[in-house]
């Protein structure tokens, strides 16, 4: 099956700093990747669609200057949470599309202190 | 389904019994559906998918049923095992060219011995 690797799995950072999360498709090329945010006991909320070689498309209400997305190659997309604050603490998950199917990374637990 | 999850409905199932998890969707334009399993602290794992031109699809111990008339999707798990305990999400694609998925609220399945 298709494998998507997300790194780091956990990160703690100080308020005001930036954090970069990587999402890699290990055994396939993904033109399109997606970034989600998930709060405890809740569903996945789509933040943005990341397309290789072009600007990401953000969902309504998601600050593009806050959550920087770069999809520099067909196997790597990165999400940078800039000037992180405690309210940015959450579980961030990426997925990569292969044909119709979307395969997910293992998620990143971000804690901002 | 709409991702309004303020809380997760729970399905308690005895080990060995069959489980049925239901999902209602609202977009009649949706033409592709996926079921995911998410264990605590991990990313969603693909279980099975179905296109709108089908009513039923079977996998290993799982069956997905699609009723387009009432916009209802279900996942049946045969002979439920303790390892099946997780949160299950249905997701739909409404023909979006990028393959964006809309996630349902999720159902917590608890398997009891």
For the segment B3-16, what is each residue's pLDDT rounded down to a tens digit?
Answer: 434 468 999 999 99
Interface test with B, best of A54, A102, A109 (most B CBs within 10 A): A102
Q: What is the mean pLDDT of chain A?
A: 94
The whole-number pLDDT of residue B3 equals: 40
pLDDT-above-90 percentage for chain B = 81
Query: Over 60: is that where the pLDDT of B38 sits?
Result: yes
pLDDT-above-90 percentage for chain A = 87
Cβ <8 Å between A106 and B43: yes
- Kindly give the pairing relationship between strand B10-14 and strand B107-112: parallel
Q: What is the mean pLDDT of chain B?
A: 91
**Closest chain A CA to residue B41:** A107
* CA B94/CA B28 separation, integer angstroms: 8
DSSP B81-107: -GGG-EEEEEEEE-S-TT---EE---E
Query: Over 70: is that where the pLDDT of A68 sits?
Result: yes
Query: Over 50: is that where the pLDDT of A92 sits?
Result: yes
Work out the pLDDT band at B1, boundaries 50, 70, 90.
Answer: very low
Residues of chain A with C-beta less than 8 angstroms from the C-beta of B46 = 1, 101-104
Kindly state the helix (H) or strand (E) to which residue B109 belongs, with its residue range.
strand B107-112
Give the closest-approach CA distance of B109 to chain A in angstroms. Answer: 13
Mean pLDDT for the stretch of residues B48-52:
96
Give the closest-approach CA distance of A94 to chain B in angstroms. Answer: 8
Work out the pLDDT band at A2, boundaries 50, 70, 90.
Answer: confident
Contact of A107 with chain B, judged by CB distance below 8 Å, is answered with yes
Query: Over 90: is that where the pLDDT of B49 sits?
Result: yes
Mean pLDDT for the stretch of residues A16-27:
97
Interface test with B, best of A42, A48, A77, A103 (most B CBs within 10 A): A42
Residues of chain B with C-beta less than 8 angstroms from the C-beta of A56 = none
Cβ <8 Å between B98 and A51: yes
Find the chain B residues whose C-beta atoms sit closer than 8 A to any C-beta of A.
3-8, 32, 34, 36, 41-46, 49, 51, 89, 91, 93, 98-106
The whole-number pLDDT of residue B99 equals: 83
The whole-number pLDDT of residue A78 equals: 96
Q: Looking at chain A, which runs of residues are DSSP E strands? A: 4-7, 10-13, 19-25, 32-38, 44-51, 57-58, 67-73, 76-81, 90-98, 101-104, 108-112
């Amino acid at each position: 099956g298709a494998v998507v690797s997300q790194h780091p799995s956990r990160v703690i950072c100080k308020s005001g700093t930036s954090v970069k999360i990587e999402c890699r498709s290990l055994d396939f090329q993904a033109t399109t990747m997606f970034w989600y945010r998930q709060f405890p006991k809740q569903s996945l909320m789509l933040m943005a669609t990341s397309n290789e070689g072009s600007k990401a498309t953000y969902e309504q209400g998601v600050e593009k200057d806050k959550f920087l997305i770069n999809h520099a190659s067909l196997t790597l997309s990165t999400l940078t949470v800039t000037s992180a604050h405690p309210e940015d603490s959450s579980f961030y998950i990426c997925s990569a599309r292969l044909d119709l199917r979307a395969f997910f990374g293992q998620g990143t637990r971000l804690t901002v202190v | 389904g709409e991702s309004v999850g303020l809380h997760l409905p729970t399905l308690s199932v005895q080990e060995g019994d069959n489980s049925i998890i239901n999902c209602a969707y609202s977009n009649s334009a949706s033409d592709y559906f996926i079921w995911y399993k998410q264990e605590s602290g991990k990313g969603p794992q693909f279980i099975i998918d179905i296109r709108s031109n089908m009513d039923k699809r079977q996998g290993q111990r799982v069956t997905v049923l699609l009723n387009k008339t009432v916009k209802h999707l279900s996942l049946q798990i045969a002979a439920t095992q303790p390892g099946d305990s997780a949160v299950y999400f249905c997701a739909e694609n409404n023909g979006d060219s990028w393959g964006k998925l809309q996630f349902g609220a999720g159902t917590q399945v608890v398997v009891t011995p």
